[in-house]
Amino acid sequence: GESVGLHLPTLSVQEGDNSIINCAYSNSASDYFIWYKQESGKGPQFIIDIRSNMDKRQGQRVTVLLNKTVKHLSLQIAATQPGDSAVYFCAENGFTGGGNKLTFGTGTQLKVEL
Amino acid sequence: EAQVTQNPRYLITVTGKKLTVTCSQNMNHEYMSWYRQDPGLGLRQIYYSMNVEVTDKGDVPEGYKVSRKEKRNFPLILESPSPNQTSLYFCASSPRQGVSYNEQFFGPGTRLTVL
């Protein structure tokens, strides 16, 4: 079946370094992707999104890259800070004909070391 | 403050005792959804609702019921909870149905333990 998954369950980076979190998807019809951040004890929070007609989108300290050829998505965090420590999920947003359906990957734990 | 609220935040119950987890949003969103989060499995959709009186099954609906009598509320009902429903539950809402490019807003979560 179709799936959205992550390559690494845990990523450790030094404070100030850049972080790259990867995500693979298998549904070639997917047209919209979202990255969520989930801090301990909280619900997922929207970080950034990208449509399939784009290759790159930048936000504040974050960049999402989409490679449709290999069905790969990445989240880059510049100058990683302790507050960035969290679990990061990529999600595929598919229009099912009736509404929004998010299919989530299993998540990557980002740990920022001081 | 625009938000999605869930109650209770924590609940320990016993097998077979009916329970309801409430979800409410104050953003006038049409679309609402319930997810459960389990280690190694990520977030999986249980049920969703496109508008009042319109609900449909997600990926893992067995053992759950929902209702959408009002736009702001979307309660999750477990008629006869079982231990395999021990999980972290999230309610989410988004502003429009029928459009795929929308952010979903999540509640703070409800930690349910069924003994």
**Is a pLDDT exceeding 80 seen at residue B71?**
yes
Asked if B109's CB is within 8 angstroms of A95's CB, the reply is no
pLDDT of B83 higher than 70: yes
Instruction: Using an 8 Å CB-CB cutoff, list residues of chain A that contact chain B.
Output: 31-32, 34, 41-46, 49, 51, 89, 91, 93-95, 98-107
| B7: enclosing H helix or E strand | strand B4-7
Please name the residue of chain B whose CA is at the shortest distance from the CA of residue A103: B44
Q: How confident is the model at residue A2 (pLDDT cuts 50, 70, 90)?
A: very low
pLDDT of residue B47: 95
Answer whether B94 touches A (CB < 8 Å).
Answer: yes
Bridging pattern class, strands A100-104 and A4-6: unpaired
> How wide is the angle at C-alpha B49 spanned by C-alphas B45 and B55, nearest 5°?
95
* Whole-number pLDDT of residue B101: 59
Strands annotated E in B8-60: 10-13, 19-25, 31-38, 42-51, 54-57
Residues of chain B with Cβ-Cβ distance to A99 below 8 Å are 31, 48, 50, 56, 97-98
The pLDDT of residue A3 is 45
Q: What pLDDT shows up at residue B39?
A: 82
CA distance A65 to B16: 47
Contact B107 A106 (CB under 8 A): no
Whether the predicted pLDDT of B36 surpasses 80:
yes
Residue owning tokens 């989410």: B92
Asked if residue A101 has pLDDT above 90, the reply is no
Is the model's pLDDT at A6 over the cut of 80?
Answer: no
Q: What is the CA radius of gyration of chain A?
A: 14
A10-23: per-residue pLDDT in tens? 899 999 999 999 99
What is the pLDDT, as a whole number, of residue A94? 66
A95: pLDDT strictly greater than 70: no
B45–A34 CB contact, under 8 Å:
no
Band (pLDDT 50/70/90 cuts) for residue B108 is very high
pLDDT of residue B18: 97
Q: Can you point out the beta strands (E) in chain A? A: 4-6, 10-14, 19-25, 32-38, 45-51, 56-58, 62-67, 72-77, 86-95, 100-104, 108-113
Is residue A84 helix, strand or coil? helix
User: How confident is the model over A36-80, as pLDDT tens digits?
Assistant: 999 988 999 999 999 989 999 999 999 999 999 999 999 999 999
- The number of C-beta contacts closer than 8 angstroms across A and B is 72
Q: Which of A100, A101, A104 to mutate against chain B (most B CBs within 10 Å)?
A: A100
Would you call A98 and B90 a contact, using CB atoms and an 8 Å cutoff?
no
